[in-house]
């Protein structure tokens, strides 16, 4: 059985974000300090006060009054103190912590330096900042921190434009301006086609729900550069082909398979349908509710030859729904992954030999090969991305998981 290992603990870390995205789930009143609970040495000399600063901005004030999101307490964590603890404490222990939030004092010098560099170019002079959409920070102790900076700007004619770019900051000393540089060959492709791939068997309700979710995304975004791929293991409870023909989607493909359900084999069959090696695969499960921003989120955090994307989904409690999102973050799994087709081919695709009729482990085995081939893994909690509680009955034949449920 594949499980967490030292390579993963070292190389997979959570990035931090600005502004606050309210992914911290604190409905559980007893879980407020779980970020630090399992590492007492982290609190020796200074105590919590040395590492935490409570954020008092208007949005947080609203949550105290019972308005806005369901999260009532947010902390800024100094990445210099916390980065080495993120994987062991946040990722493996705390299932409600959400993304680490950068302070304004950390993010704005990067934004200011980026705007200064932008204004130094003749073709972008006269652009003014409307708002900071998003800043994502990934710390590298040897090279400096890498940022994805997304800004909404206004050009001299009053038109709004969005700038989204990866940059490095080599000097984060607050007494000096940030020194920025462009990471070599580290750019995301805003027009890359994204293929959403699922393997199914006798899950009529959830197939219908999946197609509706894909229609919702297309209706909200109008994005034509994504494709739905369903690999069907001879479902008897629904005519998937007819459902897809009726659906309002930019494009889709259906692959019919015989024999017993195999997640790895099914996903690989879907991967094999993709001809363009410069497009992105998103390997996922069926029982998900998606944010309408999912396609662009996948694009932004996948860089061909460099980085794959493993967003964290929130597992809804039994009886909960996206309207009342009580649950916990599924930080232990890597079954949801965005990766370029060229990178997937290079690392050998899905393991269809060892994972034929058993549930679990294929995601960790794939992750091992991703890391072993020099690819980074971007790990972020993704707001409004939910995994519904479900049974595995009917999908797996003669497997241990089905025997336990009968």
CATH of the domain at 203: 3.90.550.10
Q: What average pLDDT does the segment 93-118 reach?
A: 85
Any domain includes 189: no
Residue 213 in any domain: the answer is yes
Note the pLDDT of residue 272.
Answer: 98
Cα dist. 11→8, 88, 287 in Å?
A: 5, 12, 29
Residue 187, in any domain of the structure? no
- Does one domain contain both 343 and 215? yes
The average pLDDT across 250-267 equals 95
Does residue 328 sit within a domain?
yes
Is the Cβ–Cβ distance between 92 and 37 less than 8 Å?
A: no
What percentage of the chain reaches a pLDDT higher than 70?
Answer: 73
Residues 143 and 277 in one domain: no
Edge-to-edge strand list for the sheet holding 327-329: 288-289, 381-387, 312-316, 327-329
Tokens of 193: 């086609």
Q: pLDDT at residue 296 above 80? A: yes
| Residues 397 and 277 grouped into a single domain | yes
Mean pLDDT, range 375-404, rounded to an integer = 71
Domain end point (choices 86, 101, 116):
101
Asked if residue 122 and residue 59 are part of one domain, the reply reads no
Whether residues 206 and 269 fall in one domain: yes
Query: Does the pLDDT of residue 375 top 60, yes or no?
Result: yes
The string of DSSP codes covering 294-360 is HHHHHHHT-BTTTEEE-PEEEEEPTT-BTTB--EEE-TT----EEEEHHHHHHTT---TTT-SS--S
Q: Are residues 384 and 326 both part of a single domain?
A: yes
Task: Name which residue leads in pLDDT, 124 or 36.
Answer: 124
Closest CA to 284 of 263, 308, 259: 263
Same domain, 129 and 199: no
Task: Determine the average pLDDT of the residues in 132-143.
Answer: 85
Q: Say if residue 383's pLDDT is above 70.
A: yes
How many domains are there within the chain? 3
Last residue of a domain, one of 181, 208, 240: 181
What integer is the mean pLDDT of 290-308? Answer: 97
pLDDT of residue 176: 67
| Domain identity same for 97 and 111 | no
Task: Say if residue 210's pLDDT is above 90.
Answer: yes
Sign of CA dihedral 360, 364, 366, 367: positive
Judgement on whether residues 387 and 348 belong to the same structural domain of the protein: yes
pLDDT the model gives residue 293? 96
Which is more confident, 358 or 303? Answer: 303
> What is the average pLDDT across 137-164?
89
Is the pLDDT at 174 greater than 50, yes or no? yes
In a domain, 163, yes or no: yes
Tell me, what's the pLDDT at 113? 92
pLDDT at 117 over 60: yes
Do 76 and 225 reside in the same domain of the chain? no
Percent of the chain with pLDDT over 90: 54
Pull the structure tokens for residue 332: 């232990």
CA distance 23 to 361: 27
CATH number, domain at 155? Answer: 3.10.450
101, 136, 166 — which closes off a domain?
101
pLDDT of 390 strictly over 90 = no
| Residue 96 covered by a domain | yes
Instruction: Note whether 223 and 168 are same-domain residues.
Output: no
pLDDT value of residue 325: 78
Task: Report the pLDDT averaged over residues 119-142.
Answer: 88
In a domain, 357, yes or no: yes
d(CA 293, CA 216): 11
pLDDT digits (tens, 9 = 90+) for 333-357: 899 999 999 999 999 999 999 988 7
Segment 400-404 mean pLDDT:
40
pLDDT tens digit sequence for 352-373: 999 887 667 899 999 999 999 9
- In terms of Cα–Cα distance, which of 405, 392, 383, 364 is closest to 4? 364
Instruction: Judge if 130 and 174 occupy the same domain.
Output: yes
Contacts of 139 (CB under 8 A, 6+ apart): 13, 16, 79, 83, 145
State pLDDT tens for residues 22-79.
887 655 544 444 543 333 444 347 333 443 343 464 443 443 344 344 333 344 444 4
Domain limits for position 321: 194-405
Q: What is the pLDDT of residue 54?
A: 39
Query: Is residue 49 assigned to a domain?
Result: yes
């Amino acid at each position: 059985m594949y499980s967490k290992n030292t390579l993963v603990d070292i190389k997979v870390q959570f990035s931090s974000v600005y502004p606050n995205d309210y992914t911290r789930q604190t409905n559980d009143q007893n879980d407020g300090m779980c970020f630090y609970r399992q590492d007492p040495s982290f609190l020796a000399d200074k105590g919590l006060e040395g590492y935490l600063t409570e954020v008092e901005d208007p949005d947080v004030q609203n949550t105290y009054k019972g308005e806005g999101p369901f999260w009532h307490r947010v902390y800024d964590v100094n990445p210099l103190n916390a980065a080495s603890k993120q994987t062991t404490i946040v990722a493996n222990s705390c299932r409600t912590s959400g993304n680490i939030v950068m302070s304004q004092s950390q993010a704005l010098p990067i934004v200011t330096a980026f705007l200064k560099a932008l204004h130094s170019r003749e073709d972008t002079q006269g652009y003014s900042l409307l708002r900071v959409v998003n800043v994502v920070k990934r710390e590298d102790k040897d090279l400096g921190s890498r940022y994805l900076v997304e800004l909404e700007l206004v050009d001299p004619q009053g038109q709004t434009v969005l700038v989204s770019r990866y940059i490095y900051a080599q000097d984060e000393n607050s007494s000096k301006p940030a020194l920025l540089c462009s990471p070599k060959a580290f750019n995301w492709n805003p027009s890359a086609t994204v293929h959403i791939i699922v393997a199914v068997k006798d899950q009529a309700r959830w197939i219908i729900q999946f197609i509706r979710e894909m229609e919702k995304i297309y209706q909200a975004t109008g994005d034509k550069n994504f494709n739905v791929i369903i690999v069907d293991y001879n479902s008897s409870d629904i005519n998937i082909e007819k459902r897809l023909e009726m659906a309002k989607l930019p494009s889709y493909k259906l692959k019919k398979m015989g024999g017993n359900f195999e997640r790895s084999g099914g996903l690989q069959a879907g991967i094999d349908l993709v001809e363009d090696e410069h497009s992105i695969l998103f390997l996922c499960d069926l029982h998900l509710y998606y944010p309408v921003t999912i396609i662009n989120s996948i694009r932004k955090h996948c860089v061909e030859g460099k980085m794959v994307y493993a967003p964290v989904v929130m597992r809804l409690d039994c009886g909960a729904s996206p309207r009342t999102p009580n649950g916990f973050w599924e930080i232990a799994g890597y079954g949801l992954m965005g990766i370029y087709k060229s990178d997937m081919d290079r690392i050998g695709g899905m393991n269809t030999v060892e994972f034929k009729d058993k549930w679990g482990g294929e995601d960790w085995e794939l992750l091992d090969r991703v890391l072993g081939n020099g690819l980074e893994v971007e790990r972020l909690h993704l707001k409004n991305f939910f995994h519904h509680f479900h049974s595995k009955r009917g999908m797996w034949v003669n497997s241990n998981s089905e025997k336990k449920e009968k």
